[in-house]
Structure 1
Amino acid sequence: MQIISKDQIEAVAEWGAIIQALHNGHLGDRPQNGEFFVGDAEAGLFSRGVVLAGVGAGVKIASIRAGNAARTPSLPNEHAAFLYIEEQTGVVGAFLDGPAITQLKTAADSALAASLLSREDSEVLLVLGAGPIARALTEAYLHVRPKLRHMLLWNRTPAKLEHAVQRIASLGVEVSIVDELEQAVSRADIIVSATSTATPLIAGRCVRPGTHVDLVGGYRADMQEADVELVGKARIFADDRASALASGDLCIPLSQGVIEAGSIEADLFELCQRADFSRSSADITLYKNAGGAHLDLIVSRYVLAAVNA
């Protein structure tokens, strides 16, 4: 069994290839998924398993301790690993660094959807959050939307964004940290949020027609990054319907009667396989990135092939 480290994963990471691998993985059969969570918002054990024909199988295991970063800044709140299982033999072929795979698959998931849902002429990107996922999202979005010229960054603790400003500026993109979130929301062509908030940050009244909104952070039923007004007036898409409807961003407006279970127009499999999808310049599109072990599996297989090439 191979043990694939964070450094090995980052050494072979290439956004175009990863996004293409995800796209190809959504052209075939749907996965068989299963998951469980034990614990609460402070401490928990989370696992997702998947079997995907033509790719293999895998299990993601994560332990979550919400107070780690507060007590020890160098210690992340989540520790994880992904086990890759070979399709033909059932052999556990590799043990991959979980956070590194999560960063790649989460950002590539959103970027793939944005390449299909956002306007090609989008120029202003607003990113909420300052963690590793937010950093990966900025890189992936710049790959699929090369016309982006201005990046707005927001975080409750602005000082955490200073390093990101330097990194993004080095890519030739105008970048600024914003204090007035509602004003930034009203300026953006694309809004991506990767936070752990339980109180909505994105106000629907401020979102302009034509905007694409990507909600990444909320994974529990009490977590909500956008308010119900936005959800109610947007065209809704998701990577996985069941996971998306279990997250607060959708299950809260669902419980209030603002949307129905059928309000999700398409998942990522349908988006990748539909040649007739279109959007108007005035449509507000909302994508719920809820994740799924099949995404980890596809990216892990890409990494293994690249490492062993």
Structure 2
Amino acid sequence: MQIISAQQIRSVLDWPGVLDALHRGHTGARPSGGSYFIGDSRFGLFSRGVILPGTGAGVKIASIHPANGAAVPPLPSEQAAFLVLDECTKGLVAMLDGPEITRWKTAADSALAARTLSSEHAEVLLVLGAGPVARSLTDAYLHIRPSIREVLLWNRTPSKLEDARSALDARNVGVRIADDLDAAVARADIIVAATSASRPLIRGECVRPGTHVDLVGGYRPDMQEADCEVFRGARIFVDERQNAAQSGDVQIPMQAGVIRERDIEGDLFDLCRESAFHRSVGDRTVYKNAGGAHLDLIVSQYVIEQLKSR
């Protein structure tokens, strides 16, 4: 079995390649899978498995220990690996660095959908969150929307954004740390949230017509990055229906009667297969990026292929 490090993954990936691989992976059969979690808020073990016909199978294993963030120096609160199984033999092929795969697949998930759902002329990008996934999302959006002229960064602890701001400054990208979130939301053409918020940060009354809202951070039923008004009257899409239905971002508006299951127009498989989606200038679009092991598998298989072709 091959063991593939984060450095090896970074050495063979770029946004065009990852987006193309993810698009191809969403034109075939849909995945089947499941997940489980044991533990509590102090320490937990998470696993999610998937079988994707024509591609293979895989399992993500993660250890979640929030107290690591308070260590000196800080340690990752989540440590993970992704195991890839061969399509034919069902044997173990490789184990890849989990956080690095997550960083690429999460941002590519959102960016692939946003190529269709966001305005081609978007100029202002607002990113909520200060972690590595938030930075990866920023990179991915700048790749798919070269029209973006300004990036607004927001986090509850603004000092955590200094490295991200410096990195964007070095690339000559217009960047500003926002202190008034409502005002930043009102200015943005694209809003991306990658936080662990349990109370809504994005208020629907501040979101302009034509804005694309991408909700990434919430994965539990009690987590909610946008209030119910963000969903009211919006065109709603998700990456994978089963996983999205378990998130508070989707569950809570449904429980409140603001949206119904039939209000979800489609998932990422639909967006990759169909060219019939037409976006009007005033359409507000909402995309719930709930993730899934099939995304890890597609990106991991692409990494393995790229390493072999060297």
TM-score w.r.t. the length of structure 1 is: 0.98
Partner of residue 76, structure 1? 76
- 1:10 matched to 2:19? The reply is no
In 2, Cα distance between equivalents of 1:72 and 1:64: 18
Per-residue CA deviations over 1:37-83 (Å, capped at 9, x if unaligned) read 12233321111111111211100011111222024452111011000
- Residues 190-246 of structure 1 show CA distances to partners (whole Å, capped at 9, x for unaligned) of 000000010100000000000000000000000000001112231110001111111
Q: Give distance in 1, aligned partners of 2:55 and 2:230.
A: 37
Deviation at 1:139, TM superposition (A): 0.6
User: For residues 125-274 of structure 1, what are the structure 2 equivalents within 5 Å?
Assistant: 125-274=125-274
* 2:95 aligned counterpart, secondary structure: strand
CA distance in 1: counterparts of 2:157 and 2:73, whole angstroms: 14
Greater Cα offset, 234-243 or 187-196: 234-243
Q: CA deviation at 1:270?
A: 0.6
Q: Which amino acid aligns with 2:25?
A: G
**Distance in 1 between the 2:241 and 2:196 partners?**
20
Q: Identify if the C-alpha distance between structure 1 residues 211 and 25 changes in structure 2 by more than 3 Å, giving closer, same or farther.
A: same
1:168, CA displacement in angstroms? 1.1
- Rounded to whole Å, the distance in 2 between the matches of 1:225 and 1:71 is 27
Q: Paired residue for 2:100?
A: 100
Give the Cα separation in 2 of the matches to 1:70 and 1:19: 35
Q: Percent identity?
A: 61
Under a length normalisation based on structure 2, what TM-score does the superposition of the two structures give? 0.98
Letter in 1 for 2:69: A
Give the residue type in structure 2 aligned to 1:53: P
* Runs of 4+ that moved beyond 6 A: none
What are the superposed Cα offsets for residues 21-47 of structure 1, whole Å, 9 maximum, x if unpaired? 000100011111111112233321111
Whole-angstrom CA distance in 1 between matches of 2:148 and 2:63: 36
1: CA distance between counterparts of 2:196 and 2:213?
A: 16
Q: Which amino acid aligns with 2:16?
A: G
Unaligned runs of 5+ in 1: none
Partner in structure 2 of residue 277 of structure 1: 277
SS of 2:45's equivalent? strand
- Structure 2 match to 1:111: 111
Measured in 1, the distance between the counterparts of 2:156 and 2:140 equals 23
Q: Aligned-pair RMSD on alpha carbons? A: 1.0
CA distance in 1, matches of 2:254, 2:119: 27
Of 227-236 and 215-224, the range deviating more from structure 2: 227-236
Task: Supply the distance in 1 between the matched residues of 2:231 and 2:213 (Cα, whole angstroms).
Answer: 10
Unaligned runs of 5+ in 2: none
Indicate yes or no: 2:118 matched with 1:88.
no
Q: What CA distance in whole angstroms lies between the structure 2 residues aligned with 1:41 and 1:251?
A: 21
Name the structure 2 match of 1:47. 47
Q: Name 2:292's counterpart in structure 1.
A: 292
3-state SS of paired residue (1:164): helix
| Secondary structure of residue in 1 paired with 2:185 | helix
* Deviation readout 1:141-166 (Å, 9 max, x if unpaired): 11111111100000111111111111
One-letter code of the match for 2:22? Answer: L
Q: AA paired with 2:94?
A: A
* 2: CA distance, partners of 1:239 / 1:42: 29
1:73–1:241 distance in 2 versus 1, CA, 3 Å: farther
